[in-house]
Structure 1
Amino acid sequence: MVLILGLIALLQTGALGLFALHYLSSSLQEQMGERALHVAKTIAAIPQIIEAVETRNSAVLQPIAQSLAEKTQARFVVIGDSNGLRLAHPNQERLGLSMSEDDDDDLSPTLVQGLAQVTRAEGSLGRSMRARAPIFDTDGNKIIGIVSVGYLLDRVETLVDRYRLTLALVILGAFGFSVLTAIWFAGHFKKAIFGLEPEQIGRLFQERDATLQSVREGIIAINAEGLITTVNHAACRMLGLPRDSTLTGTPIQHLFPDTRMLEVLTNDTPQFDQEVRVGELQFIVNRLPLHQGDRITGVVSSFRRKDELDLLSRQLTRIRQYADSLRSQAHEYSNKLHTIAGLIQIGATDEALNLIGQETRDHQALIHLLVEAVPDPILAGCLLGKYNRARELGLMLTIDPDSQMVDLPPELPREKLVSIIGNLLDNAFEATLNHGGPQQAVTLSMTDLGNDLIFEIEDRGPGISPEDQQRIFAKGTTSKSEPGHGLGLHLVSTQLQQLGGTITIEPGTPSGSRITIYIPKHPGGMHD
């Protein structure tokens, strides 16, 4: 860049300098010619000159010509008769000789046609810009002579040389300034592109494009004017756009009239994990503003279809529930096995057999209830895991035998449902254990009759005062001093709002709290 800008400046200023010198030389010569013509015409009109030419009196003309040449700063003033013979000349030896002997100029336009003319030629006194004017007689009818006034071009060359030196200094100054400007501009430009060379930028652009096209998430970026600058193949596939469509430069509102990317562009606030519906599809969207210094230059949005995330979440939830269930069962059965082994060692075989039978009956009854009342494997696995967790804590989870949860809508997100039930049961276990001690029961009843799914959980804790009921669902609200609490009920409240559900809190019988949640079955009751 430094070399290119410097050479461009040198060529430009050099070309302008040559043009200026040529124009200056031409203008000076033209002005000199006009001045010579004016002087020649003036001398030709002097009565004393006319009289002396008529009488061919060189003695009179010679001093007058020299005097006029000095006064007009002309190099020479030559006066001739009607035949072109010199009557006055700076060099007396040339008097009487023809004025046309020094060059091939034709004197006839002046002596015959009476025309005043300006010529540039090599005369006896050197290269000159000269003007010739006819001398008419006293009556002005007859051409009796000719006046030639010349200015040597040496003065023009001297003046042009003086300007040539000035222009050369200006050209060198402009070249130096261009080089310094180019160095500054190159440094600023390299800083703006993070010190990368053009080849590196091209390679990074290809890598970025390949990366964008390889990711499975849809990516759309806009500039500060809201025009699309980037869209990858995954975004085209998810949104049903042809891959060969020219979307670059299209206003984002034309594709998504309700987009919130312009909101991020205005308030400079990133948005994460937003649920958005586009037609019949739901997406999980993240939006981040792009900055260059303190200025917002655009927004990039990445998104994935919500059903893909829901599927992954359901799989993780199912695995987590199975893991919790197995862990609780392993812990519970380990305790039972140690107890049975101890009874056998002390010879209490009848008690050991009764304990084994009781354990078998309890689990068989719970499994039979879940199979009949809760055919959904995710919810059943959650309840089985929480049952074993209660046994592990020394509590009892009692499920109302009249419960039924068969009519679960397919579109209801199972991960949100088990998260709500799991958090509420964990809170009930903790409240019962801290207040009522072990061997207490937490009861759960559920029904799918009507238009809502209803879950009712009752604990044996200290209860919840009306004042606390207004704030326990706020994020960070907890009665524990340890950090990391106060999120469970806030998560329950948030997920219930997403499902369009409600929650009520009542005093339990004879103590504790009764929490009831209502979740609408129909998708119209859900909102993002």
Structure 2
Amino acid sequence: MRFPLPRSLAGQLFAMQAVLVAVVVAGCALFTYISDRNQAQNAAQRQATAAATAVADSPSVRAAIEGSGDPSERLQPYALDVQRHTGVDFVTIMDPAGIRWTHPDEKQIGKRFLGHIGPALKGRTFPETYTGTLGPSVRVVTPVYGDGHRVVGLVSAGITIDEITAQARGQVLAVTGVAGAALVLGGIGTYVINARLRRHTHGMNASELSRMHAYHQAALHAVREGLVMLDGQRRVALINDGARELLGVGDDAMGRGVAELGLPAPLTGALLAAEPRVDEVHLTADRVVVVNTSPVASGNRRGTVVTLRDHTELQSVMGELDSERGFTQALRSQAHEAANRLHTVVSLIELGRAEEAVDFATAELELAQTLTDQVVGAVSEPVLAALLLGKAAQANEHGVELVVSGDTRIDDGLLPQALAARDLVTVLGNLIDNAVDAAQGSPRARVTVTARATVDALLLRVTDTGPGVDPEHSDAVFERGWSTKPAGPGGRGLGLALVRQAVRRNGGTLELARPAEGGAAFTALLPLGTGTTTTSLSAVRTGTATTSQDGTP
């Protein structure tokens, strides 16, 4: 017959533990019963031996046996008295032929002893279990010595098996009571433990838990968003593949503290914070991530759930969108200015001042064409040329003059495919935007851009005439969130942080200096060659780097 098992894992464990406790208790009770019975038999044998040898060594017994008259008259009262005092069931004194002189049942006196007497006749005391007139008993037979060390009689003392069983039964009842109490306590303890287990497993069985674990692992590895769970000591208790990729950590992150992962300080601070963080933008070595943290508590356990979203591509697209929006605004402004100039030319012609109209138009065309010719002549790379022209128009709208230095030179095709145009736009565009903001309102508001490429390296330098950067903030200026401008709806202080991220991603360096004429100078040096770069930063900056016949600067 097959008994149905409980459905839940906790129920199955309770049933198994209850059966196990019952089997153990029953086994202990049976072992105790057998052990107590054997001990009772041994004790009865020792008790009978003591009684029999005491009677056999008694001088009065020897005297009654060797004296005249019937030994039974003197020995029967003595045997009954010994039987009462020693607690044995019978004391039988007999002659060497086995004829009884004493017996608890006087009718058995004079009859032959039921049992073995051979070893005793040879002078040896021996025990045996034998069924006599009183039933099965544990008995001892010992010789009685007379003069000349000869056997003149035999003594047998014993305790019946029923008496021994009664003694063992009392002990077994006590053991059974203890075993029953142990079984009840074990069952109660097992029930309490499994009730707690049932709460933790929500009543699910083993197959359901296994299936849930499989789904859990599949979901963790499938989702692209990062998920990190921290315990109360801010150690990583769980991390999925997406989080490892976004944070740039290896498989050894499990069990390590957040401070040991080597993350940027602002990101580490966000993960260690006790209060929740919502949609905070942070930078890793090469990514822009949005961080959300939520403290959790379960009983006495504390922890934090962290979700990470990759906004690297979105941030780059937004940067490009901002650039395009700036270009559009610049074009709109230029179109407005062009319309004003055209109205001026038309009005001069209507006033009959044609020569002045031609001179005015020619001057405007030369001014506009000068910057275009300068940029296109020095920078053949289309992305950088377009960026410089657009930023020049934007700077003009803010009352800032953007100047391309005379030593700027980048030939088309010199920049390798490994250097993404998006990174160039990020680096140079953000540097120019920050320089324009810094130069606004300053005397001779000007931003100077230098872009120079050799076989091994690309130098991008942006100088402004603004107030400059306090030397104490030389390192902090590249951290996310640092800015001298008031924060807007989208926050501030991300541009230079993105610049440093893009430069590091391409294996370059970024420096901040304070020129002698004032302002600030940001210099980015990006390696271009596939081999070891031998061109020093100072050589590229001063324009003294040359190219040998084998192509090495």
TM-score by length of 1: 0.69
Contact kept in structure 1, 2:80 and 2:91, CA below 8 Å: yes
Pair 1:519 & 2:525 matched? yes
Q: Assess, with a 3 A threshold, how the Cα gap between structure 1 residues 121 and 13 changes in structure 2: closer, same or farther.
A: same
Deviations 1:408-461 (A, max 9, x none): 466556655533322221122223333459xx6533232235865433434454
**Distance in 1 separating the partners of 2:345 and 2:474:** 57
Deviations 1:256-280 (A, max 9, x none): 9xx9859x83675554479xxxxxx
Contact kept in structure 2, 1:215 and 1:234, CA below 8 Å: no
Within 5 Å, give how 1:64-103 maps onto structure 2.
Answer: 64-100=78-114
% identical equivalent positions:
22
Paired letter, 1:418: V
Unaligned runs of 5+ in 1: 236-251, 275-281
Q: May I ask how many residue pairs the two structures share in their alignment?
A: 470
**Distance in 2 separating the partners of 1:285 and 1:178:** 58
Deviations 1:479-500 (A, max 9, x none): 4344634454565567667623
**Distance in 1 separating the partners of 2:164 and 2:91:** 19
Instruction: Find the counterpart in structure 1 of residue 437 from structure 2.
Output: 430
**Distance in 2 separating the partners of 1:285 and 1:108:** 106
Contact kept in structure 2, 1:503 and 1:515, CA below 8 Å: yes
The CA deviation at 1:360 is: 8.3
Instruction: Find the counterpart in structure 1 of residue 514 from structure 2.
Output: 505
**Distance in 2 separating the partners of 1:218 and 1:336:** 46
**Distance in 1 separating the partners of 2:120 and 2:438:** 129
Q: Assess, with a 3 A threshold, how the Cα gap between structure 1 residues 411 and 514 changes in structure 2: closer, same or farther.
A: same
Contact kept in structure 1, 2:403 and 2:449, CA below 8 Å: yes
Deviations 1:220-270 (A, max 9, x none): 99x99x9xx9998999xxxxxxxxxxxxxxxx9xxx9xx9859x8367555
Helix, strand or coil for the counterpart of 1:434?
Answer: coil
Pair 1:63 & 2:77 matched? yes
Deviations 1:362-421 (A, max 9, x none): 887766665554444554454344234335545543334652124446655665553332
Pair 1:162 & 2:153 matched? no
Helix, strand or coil for the counterpart of 2:74?
Answer: helix
The CA deviation at 1:504 is: 2.0
Instruction: Find the counterpart in structure 2 of residue 35 from structure 1.
Output: 47
**Distance in 2 separating the partners of 1:469 and 1:234:** 32
Within 5 Å, give how 1:98-177 maps onto structure 2.
Answer: 98-100=112-114, 105-111=115-121, 113-141=122-150, 143-177=151-185
Pair 1:17 & 2:23 matched? no
The CA deviation at 1:77 is: 0.9
Within 5 Å, give how 1:100-499 maps onto structure 2.
Answer: 100=114, 105-111=115-121, 113-141=122-150, 143-186=151-194, 189=197, 197-211=205-219, 214=222, 261=253, 265=256, 269-272=260-263, 317=316, 319-320=317-318, 323-337=321-335, 348=346, 373-393=378-398, 395-400=400-405, 403-406=408-411, 407-408=414-415, 416-435=423-442, 442-448=447-453, 453-461=458-466, 463-464=467-468, 473=477, 475=479, 478-482=483-487, 484-489=491-496, 492=499, 499=508
Q: Assess, with a 3 A threshold, how the Cα gap between structure 1 residues 39 and 58 changes in structure 2: closer, same or farther.
A: same
Helix, strand or coil for the counterpart of 1:20?
Answer: helix
Paired letter, 1:110: A
Deviations 1:64-110 (A, max 9, x none): 2112222322221112222222111122222212222xxxx444443
Q: Assess, with a 3 A threshold, how the Cα gap between structure 1 residues 378 and 135 changes in structure 2: closer, same or farther.
A: farther
Helix, strand or coil for the counterpart of 1:78?
Answer: strand
**Distance in 2 separating the partners of 1:230 and 1:394:** 51
Contact kept in structure 2, 1:29 and 1:129, CA below 8 Å: yes
Q: Assess, with a 3 A threshold, how the Cα gap between structure 1 residues 155 and 177 changes in structure 2: closer, same or farther.
A: same
Contact kept in structure 2, 1:110 and 1:117, CA below 8 Å: yes
Contact kept in structure 1, 2:379 and 2:385, CA below 8 Å: yes
Q: Assess, with a 3 A threshold, how the Cα gap between structure 1 residues 346 and 485 changes in structure 2: closer, same or farther.
A: closer
Paired letter, 1:71: H
Paired letter, 1:331: Q
Paired letter, 2:42: E
Deviations 1:128-155 (A, max 9, x none): 22111233442223x4432211223344
Paired letter, 1:427: N
Moved more, 448-457 or 33-42: 448-457
Contact kept in structure 1, 2:326 and 2:390, CA below 8 Å: yes
Q: Assess, with a 3 A threshold, how the Cα gap between structure 1 residues 427 and 216 changes in structure 2: closer, same or farther.
A: closer
Deviations 1:272-301 (A, max 9, x none): 479xxxxxxx99899x9xx9999999xx9x
Q: Assess, with a 3 A threshold, how the Cα gap between structure 1 residues 323 and 266 changes in structure 2: closer, same or farther.
A: closer
Unaligned runs of 5+ in 2: 1-12, 266-284, 351-356, 535-553
**Distance in 1 separating the partners of 2:23 and 2:457:** 84
The CA deviation at 1:27 is: 0.9
Contact kept in structure 2, 1:395 and 1:442, CA below 8 Å: yes
**Distance in 2 separating the partners of 1:85 and 1:351:** 169
**Distance in 1 separating the partners of 2:526 and 2:105:** 125
TM-score by length of 2: 0.66
